A and B are shown apart, each in its own frame.
Chain A
């Protein structure tokens, strides 16, 4: 039932601006792909082209090998979950969910059955006759999801699906969306600007910047081995350390580097605090130590370094105290190095914030 989607050299120009600039992306059948990027990166436009809402200027989109560029939106058989849900306020929950079935000329009895099944899937059984206005935000989203899935589309598109929910609900819905996607096996593409959200739902994360696709990979891949500085800083926190001649400048370390020149990306959890000095440690003084529930976030000032090194310390026990002298070591065997962007000499060393 689920389909694979191939986006080939997709280009979109709107009002004299190039919104998408040659995007290539393969979406395997049954996978969950998130398009991640800052606003204006072209992720929503990509989704709208898939849905048939935006005209492409160049390139092609194939579904199971067939180009769909000239298929109008209403014939694409794609489920679309809108950011604000776009439920029809003059219809009940049941009528909303039956709406796509109406277009498909499904008889009333069968329709009722399918609506009930869809409501069960989103854990809202028996809510058919409720009015849209009487639902909470989370319930509205579930209804919108049921409506987008009731006709068993081959492809499900989610536009910032969790942006309108409060934090607690958002985390619950992340898992819920993932569960429903696994249960139905529908190929799913979600747009988000939240990296935690992107990584926790997706099989594949596609990172976009300025209308281009920067990197596609599993969440672990893009986090561990970012393709460039943008990806490294966009996904989580990182210590960015200049590397030349295969060594991090001014830092003793046993680890090798993935390339000899560039900027090393060392995640806070890749730095360990050792009790005693050794061949591969660097001395430093704790400048800040903050408890964040799942870790201590410790920034350590090392002599001769401009920016502090950020270290994640497991939350058990007491964290390092401010002013304490510590010895830092790189806890991975290989430091991932990304190419230095042109003009990088301006900021040789920095900590990328979340």
Chain B
């Protein structure tokens, strides 16, 4: 026992060191890109020179950059809403099914394991042949499919904390199932649904694989714009745009963490 207690702090020290190294490895690219957003050079080259906020102004005011941000936001919001409706419905349905639960659960999670490249290519070829081309609508549908498992998992976890007797109680008190869902289950998992929706939005906002295949040239989304800029003019605006995306992601994750940590109504 004593030997174990002596060994514990040291083990914890190694864990901390290892974790820090992994963190460093993951965050190093950020450390490289963030300073470049403030460079006074006209090209995206390391090391940064001087300090200016002009690249942020460019990203936020230049019509091409601005348009791409708006496109991304529009697609991500719509896709997140679709994913939330789909994922939440799936989670509620799995709970109600008396058989076939496993089949539905697997179906809901399938987009998680399917390579986005395959989905992108499939959508691209299909819409090319039936509609002559793709559009932001197709991209929205594709991203909603990608994000749906996230919402499904989040809401299913929330529902698992809801006592199944509550639904029975509501039924015995005279409520049909739609009323049970609306008045009991949805209010009790509202936080899970909201965090699922935010995660879905965050994933869709900077989704690149589907976007590269499906975005029409005139309606670039932000990741596509970053991609084309990098190959065309290598402007430090890329770094500024990336910094903004990172800030958004961190903020959204913080909100989700807050939603999960606050003593929720889900705990009965």
Q: Do A and B come from one complex?
A: yes
Q: What range describes how many residues of B lie at the interface? A: 20 to 34
* A89 x B174 contact (CB < 8 A): no
* A151 x B163 contact (CB < 8 A): no
Interface residues of A, count at CB 8 A: 26
Binary contact track B151-186/A, C-beta < 8 Å → 1, others 0: 000000000000101101111111110010001100
Is B26 part of the contact surface with A, judged by Cβ < 8 Å? no
Is B133 part of the contact surface with A, judged by Cβ < 8 Å? no
B166: shortest Cβ distance to chain A, in Å?
5
Of all chain A residues, the one with the shortest Cβ separation from B172 is A80
Tell me the chain A residues, 29-75 only, with Cβ under 8 Å from chain B: 51-53, 72-75
CA distance A104 to B174 in the complex (A): 7
A42: shortest Cβ distance to chain B, in Å?
19
Q: A86-B165, A90-B265, A103-B179 are in contact. Are A79 and B188 (CB under 8 A)?
A: no
* A147 x B188 contact (CB < 8 A): no
Q: Which residues of the partner chain A approach B176 to less than 8 Å between Cβ atoms? A: 74
* A89 x B172 contact (CB < 8 A): no
* B179 x A86 contact (CB < 8 A): no
Of all chain B residues, the one with the shortest Cβ separation from A84 is B165
Of A51, A89, A102, A147, which one neighbours B268 at CB under 8 angstroms?
Answer: A89
Q: A82-B165, A103-B179 are in contact. Are A88 and B184 (CB under 8 A)?
A: yes
Of B163, B170, B172, B265, which one neighbours A84 at CB under 8 angstroms?
Answer: B163
Is A268 part of the contact surface with B, judged by Cβ < 8 Å? no
CA distance A103 to B176 in the complex (A): 8
Q: A88-B184, A89-B268, A90-B265 are in contact. Are A99 and B165 (CB under 8 A)?
A: no
B108: shortest Cβ distance to chain A, in Å?
25
Q: A86-B163, A88-B184, A89-B265 are in contact. Are A99 and B168 (CB under 8 A)?
A: no
- The winner among B168, B169, B171, B265 for most chain A CB atoms within 10 A is B169
Q: Which residues of the partner chain B approach A79 to less than 8 Å between Cβ atoms? A: 172
CA distance A90 to B265 in the complex (A): 6
Q: With A84-B163, A89-B267, A99-B175 given, can you name 15 additional A-B contacts, CB distance below 8 Å?
A: A72-B171, A74-B171, A74-B172, A74-B174, A74-B175, A76-B172, A82-B168, A86-B163, A88-B170, A88-B184, A89-B265, A90-B265, A99-B170, A102-B183, A103-B174
Contacts from B to A (Cβ < 8 Å): 163, 165-166, 168-176, 179, 183-184, 187-188, 265, 267-268
Closest 10 CB pairs between A and B? A103-B174, A100-B173, A86-B169, A86-B165, A80-B172, A73-B171, A89-B268, A103-B175, A74-B171, A82-B165
20 pairs, CB–CB < 8 Å, chain A vs chain B: A52-B172, A53-B168, A74-B172, A74-B175, A74-B176, A80-B169, A80-B172, A84-B165, A86-B165, A86-B166, A88-B166, A88-B169, A88-B184, A89-B188, A90-B265, A99-B173, A102-B183, A103-B179, A148-B173, A151-B173
